[in-house]
Amino acid sequence: MNLIETSNLTAFYGDFQALFGVDLVLQAGETIAVIGANGAGKSTLMRSIAGVLSNKPDAILHRGEPIGALAAPDVMARGIALVPEGRKLFPSLTVEENLLVGRHGRKVEGNWSLETIFGLFPVLKERRNQPSTALSGGQQQMVAIGRALMSNPEVLLCDELSLGLAPVVIKDIYAAFPRIRETGAAIVIVEQDIAQALKVADRVYCMMEGRVTLEGRPAELDRADIHAAYFGAETHELA
């Protein structure tokens, strides 16, 4: 049985339609990447799965059960955690409090606790009592990932982890992913950085203008096909 499955998923912001019948499958323990340019609908897809945007119940299935109409706290309680685009840390909470609040709605014992998160990102332990706003962008991203892991999710949705970060910082953050994968969590990574996405993913979905335009395993995908699916162009080599 698929862990997460979307079928003919649509999403609207008022009258504006952002997703047009997206079909996506995530298996247990798998890492998939969703790539696409700005405005392709990647973040809308994540927000829909996480329950921020409501949908038809059976547009999203979790272990075969309809969750499309569930609110975000109910989706989170089922073990689906989102690292939102732009980190969205709570400015009035310290680093440690930001991590602790991540398990508010799902207190499940598992691989992740305050201590193991500090083991994954040691710099956070040193700064645990500081306001989250005092951290650098990369450290804030670590807090956002740690906060999502605190609920010991079986699905980790990561929205634009590399946004606004220096390449060396992005490398540090992605270095943590093998350890997250070892815990058995399935991961969905939304990225604009194609090379990074292809490096960590078992399968890749490419989106353009609210539709999935390409799907496959990184080794099987041709660079020209990805380029066409990403930009809508038929020619040109991928830079």
Partner 1 sequence: MNWLDSILQGILLGGLYALFAAGLSLVFGIMRLVNLAHGDLIVFAAFLILMLVSTLGLNPFVAALIAGPLMFAVGYLLQYHLLNRTLGKDILPPLLVTFGLSIVIQNGLLEAFTADSQRIPAGALEQASISLGGINAGVMPLLTFASAILVIVGLNQMIYKTALGRAFRATSDDVVTAGLMGIRPNQIFAIATGLAMVIVTIAALYLGTRANFDPTAGPARLIYAFEAVIIGGLGSLWGTLAGGIILGVAQTVGAAINPEWQILSGHIAFLLVLLFRPRGLFPRAVD
Regarding 58 and contact with partner 1 (CB under 8 A), the answer is no
Using CB under 8 A, which of 25, 28, 69, 77 touches partner 1? 77
Strands of 108-199 (E only): list them.
Answer: 155-159, 186-191
Nearest alpha carbon to residue 31 among 227, 206, 152, 198: 198
Nearest alpha carbon to residue 116 among 179, 65, 172, 190: 179
Closer Cβ to partner 1, 87 or 127, answer by number? 87
Using CB under 8 A, which of 36, 102, 138, 146 touches partner 1? 102
Using CB under 8 A, which of 140, 141, 151, 162 touches partner 1? 151
Regarding 184 and contact with partner 1 (CB under 8 A), the answer is no
Residue 180 half-sphere exposure, CB side, CA atoms within 13 Å? Answer: 30
Using CB under 8 A, which of 59, 82, 155, 226 touches partner 1? 82
Using CB under 8 A, which of 37, 52, 176, 200 touches partner 1? 52
Instruction: Show Cβ contacts of residue 157 under 8 Å, excluding neighbours closer than 6 positions.
Output: 46, 49, 50, 80, 81, 82, 83, 148, 187, 188, 190
Closer Cβ to partner 1, 50 or 229, answer by number? 50
At closest approach, how far in Å is the CB of 168 from partner 1?
A: 27
Regarding 73 and contact with partner 1 (CB under 8 A), the answer is yes
* Residue 226 to residue 237: CA distance in whole angstroms: 10
Regarding 152 and contact with partner 1 (CB under 8 A), the answer is no
Regarding 137 and contact with partner 1 (CB under 8 A), the answer is no
At closest approach, how far in Å is the CB of 30 from partner 1?
A: 22
* Residue 16 to residue 7: CA distance in whole angstroms: 20
At closest approach, how far in Å is the CB of 74 from partner 1?
A: 9
* Residue 230 to residue 198: CA distance in whole angstroms: 13
Regarding 85 and contact with partner 1 (CB under 8 A), the answer is no
**Torsion angle of alpha carbons 30, 177, 47, 84, nearest 10°?**
170
Regarding 93 and contact with partner 1 (CB under 8 A), the answer is yes
Regarding 97 and contact with partner 1 (CB under 8 A), the answer is yes
How remote is the C-alpha of 221 from its chain's centroid?
A: 22
Residues forming contacts to partner 1 in the complex (CB under 8 A) are: 50-52, 71-73, 76-77, 81-82, 84, 88, 90-93, 97, 100-106, 147, 151
